[in-house]
Structure formats: structure tokens, C-alpha cells
Chains A and B, each alone.
Chain A
């Protein structure tokens, strides 16, 4: 059986959790799992990858060209590795995975399979289409399968317990097509949206960004992350990376609380696999109530502080 290469997502110091979901998906395909850590000064990330349960080998490509993991530079490296005998190349369907893997696939002249939610066999995968309103089962006859993995559809592999060897691989250096200029990251004390156990999201009904602290207070009580609908993002209430939906982040927490969100198809695509959905909306006809396990028809400006206070009591 051919080996599987998982592309690590990392910040040179630590692994991002999406890598662990991709390892679990790789485990369902079957074969030795290798992780590629391409970065600059990324020994720590490689050491972390070596400890992941189920991983047979870690490949570390340490080169200044890989510092920001620009796809123009990393893709040739992945292509040369893929040609050396991998049957599958996987990454989490994060902004990094989505950016890199189609480029790799085209260079290998193979199809890419985006955002898989299920592994039927080594060549057959399930993936949602039409904003999650249909599930397609697709089969690939390509020699190498290039796949991004919907992280919420696969458990995270244990970050401890593995003892893989770290092997250094040489990179091809910079392609000089692109240059990293800067990054502007949203700072938050709360858990990461895609990994949170509880998510509290606000929509157009919040009326302004000044009202989001209401949700933040509730989120803090629950140890939750704060999300938003596109309407709230477009209105400037919160930054773009809060957006949950078809074109934003896909979340599947244990508890999703939708506040002042009507429940458009595009929003539901991002959260309808949550275990329990709560909707708070004053419009009892809002489509969100069709997917909510518990619905409360009420003015959010009254209900949310009440809910926060009620949680305090218990």
C-alpha cells in the first residue's frame, strides 16, 4: 500500500489542529502516514508532528523560502515528494490547504478533491456540494489523490503517543513569484472558532458592533468562541474571519447558539452539523428555527443578558 503524505499546517513553532484532523482522515484511507513540515526554523513543529499518534515519519524541509508557506514555493516541494511514491496527499481544508493543494494537483496533472467529509475507500470520497445541501460520492482514478479534509468531519488525532523519526528533506528554494508582505491577525482570548466546543454567533439582528459585547459576555460564561453571519461581517460589526458559512468557516461544535441570525442557506452550510443548535430570534418565521433543536422567540437584547445571568446563577 502506498504511503500517505499529510501537509502540516503550522506557525513554525507549533502544529495547527487541522493537521490532526487530516491525520485521522489519512488513517481511514490506510497506509503509512508521513507528515511534511515545510517552514523556517520549524524544528519545534516537526518535533510536535513526530509525537502525533499514528504517524510513521516526519519530513522536515527547513528553508527560508518556506517561512510563510507561500504556495508558489511549497507546491514544487510537495510535487517532488508526491512523485517519489505517495498515493495520497492530504491537508486540512483551511485557507492554507485550499490555497496550496489545487496548485499541487495541477502540477501533477491530477484532479483535486476538496473538503471531504467521508472516506468510502482509498479512491472514493464523500464531499458536500451546493452549500452542503447535497453529498457527492466521487471516485478518482488518478495515480495520486490530492485531498483537502473538512476538519469538523474527522476527530483530531492524539497529539501525544507517537514516536516518529524526523528526516530532513531538501527543498527547491524560492520560486520568486510571490513575496509575503504582512499579516494582520485578529487577536482573541477565546477558543479558536473551528475548534471550539461551544460557539455563540450573532447576525444582522445585533444591529451594531457595539452590541457584540453582549454575545462576548455570554461566550465567556460558556467558554465559547464568537462567530457571525455574513450580514454581521458585511455590516462591519466584526472582522471577516468570524464568518461562519459556505464561504466562511465550517464549524460543528457541541452547542451552537445563533442570535439574531435568520438562517440563510449559506449560513446553515457552515453550522448545521453542530450537535445542538439553539436559535434566539424575534421572528418566529425565521428559517433558523427549522434546524434549531431549541428555539426561543424573543428580543435578543432582553434574552441574551437574561441567559448570561441565568448561567451565572447555576
Chain B
């Protein structure tokens, strides 16, 4: 079974982002970028399925600017076999990404597509569901366990009250939650080897997909700031403040 993984290049999760003064967006020049953490988990899961003999080939895909090649190289260093960059400088919104992925799925015919459950920049949590819809496949979102067997995949999902297990007919789309696995670090030899793995670059046009954003961002602003609080000396003072000043207990 071939597995397709989608990865996104995002501002590193540790960066304290700054909103641009003209409210056009978030400052992204001279900021550290890395692979979206949920996508690392998706790639790790694909690599584990290959190591277990379930998967035969792992194709990683990214949609974005030329620099997304680095993100794909990281995935190759983790153990993916080859990469496809769909290069565009347009802001990539989930519906457009899902359409690009659908075009690639039709070309590559994977048995399973694994994505992260959400990107930590737009926080949308949409692309996997949209891709499953466009393909007419089942979806196993927020997965903390994925077991493919006999033309089906059993997915344990993290839901609000606990866990839920569903069984999907393959091919299917799975989105990874944090608890799915612990992604490996790419070793230096593997990073060197990844440089020689194939990385194909295509454009959305060549796939026949229009990636023009459907939502217009009118402005991006800073959230309301909390005013600085006080430190209290002991538990009695804390209870006193909560009771008499904040009046919450």
C-alpha cells in the first residue's frame, strides 16, 4: 500500500509571533519556520507503517513557496521515499489544498492519506475532512491509533468525552492527533541521504487546480492584552483576594 502524507511549512511552534502594524498579517520575515508538528506525527506514522511492512512507499507532498522544499527534505530524512512540491506563493487555504491533494491522489493512487489534524498557523482543522469529502472516502480524524488490515483501517479518535473507535473502508483519509506517536529525529546520515531522494516540483495549474483564496482576510489584529496581575504572599492572601476583590469564590 502506498501512503501519501501532506506536510506544511509553518512558523515554528516556539516563536512568539508579531502582528504587522499595518494589520495585513503576521510577521514572517526573519522568523524560524519548521514542519507543522501534527504533520511530523503523520509522517512518523507512515514511516512506522512502512517499517511494519504495511506500507510499501511513502510520498510526501507540500503546497507552498519554494522554501517548502526544506520541509519536504525533513520528511524524506524521517523516512519518506519521495516528495512532491506544489509550488505557489498564494496563501494556501484548506479548500484549495484539499483540491490539490485530490488531484495528486488521483495521480498517485495511495491506499491511505495521512495528514496532521490542524496547522498551528491558521488553526483551521479542515483540510483532511475536505479531502475525504472530495474523494468520497471515509475519514478518521484526530487519530490516536491507526491499524490498517484487510482492506480496512481501524482508527481510534480523540473526542470531547474520551475516545471513539471507527472502522473505515480503504482507501481513507486519516488526520493525526498529538497522541498518535512520538516523531523521530532525523539523523545526520539520513539527512544526507534525503538530499539524494527524488523531489518533483509541479504547479497548481499543471494539476488543473485554482488555488485562489476563497476567504478574504480583511485584517489581522492583536488580541486584547490582559493587564498585569499581582503576586500574593500566601494562601490566606490568595483566598482573600479571590473572595473580596475578584469575587469569584
Q: Which residues of A contact B (CB under 8 A)?
A: 68, 70-72, 75, 94-96, 98-107, 109-115, 124, 127-142, 176-186, 194, 198, 222, 230, 233-234, 239-241, 246-247, 249, 254-255, 265-266, 272, 275-278, 284, 289-298, 303, 306-307, 310-311, 314
Contacts and interface: CB of A to CB of B under 8 A. Distances in A.
Contacts of B52: none
Most buried by B among A103, A124, A133, A296: A103
A296 B238 contact: yes
B144 to A, nearest CB: 7
Given A114-B123, A178-B167, A183-B163, A135 B221 contact: yes
A295 B230 contact: yes
Contact of B248 (A141, A234, A255, A292): A255
Interface in B120-178: 120-134, 136-142, 144, 154, 157-169, 172, 177-178
A291 B226 contact: yes
A136 B130 CA distance: 22
B217 interface: yes
B208 interface: no
Main secondary structure of the interface of A (DSSP, over half): mixed
B242 A276 contact: yes
Contact of A136 (B214, B217, B243): B217
B221 A185 contact: no
A4 B132 CA distance: 25
Contacts of A127: 123
B186 to A, nearest CB: 21
B166 A178 contact: yes
A141 B216 contact: yes
A267 to B, nearest CB: 12
B157 to A, nearest CB: 8
B158 to A, nearest CB: 5
Interface string B164-198: 11111100100001110000000000000000000
Contacts of A70: 166
B207 interface: no
A99 B248 CA distance: 35
Contact of A241 (B121, B131, B162): B162
A272 B118 CA distance: 20
Contacts of B134: 106
B53 interface: no
A147 to B, nearest CB: 11
19 contacts: A103-B130, A110-B95, A111-B215, A124-B218, A129-B122, A133-B17, A136-B219, A137-B220, A139-B218, A177-B137, A181-B165, A185-B162, A198-B248, A222-B249, A240-B158, A272-B226, A276-B248, A298-B234, A307-B238
Contact of A98 (B13, B141, B226, B236): B141
Given A105-B95, A124-B218, A297-B231, A95 B160 contact: yes
A233 B179 CA distance: 9
A238 to B, nearest CB: 12
A4 B143 CA distance: 31
A178 B13 contact: no
B158 A95 contact: yes
Contacts of B166: 70, 178-181
A114 B125 contact: yes
Nearest to A108: B133
Contact of B161 (A133, A186, A265, A296): A186
A98 B125 contact: yes
Contacts of B125: 98, 102, 114-115
B158 A105 contact: no
B65 to A, nearest CB: 18
Interface in B197-249: 214-223, 226, 228-232, 234-236, 238-239, 241-243, 246, 248-249
Contacts of A135: 220-223
Contacts of B163: 183-185, 240
A130 B121 contact: yes
Contact of A294 (B123, B126, B238): B238
Contact of A247 (B11, B118, B215, B226): B118
A250 B62 CA distance: 29
B215 A140 contact: yes
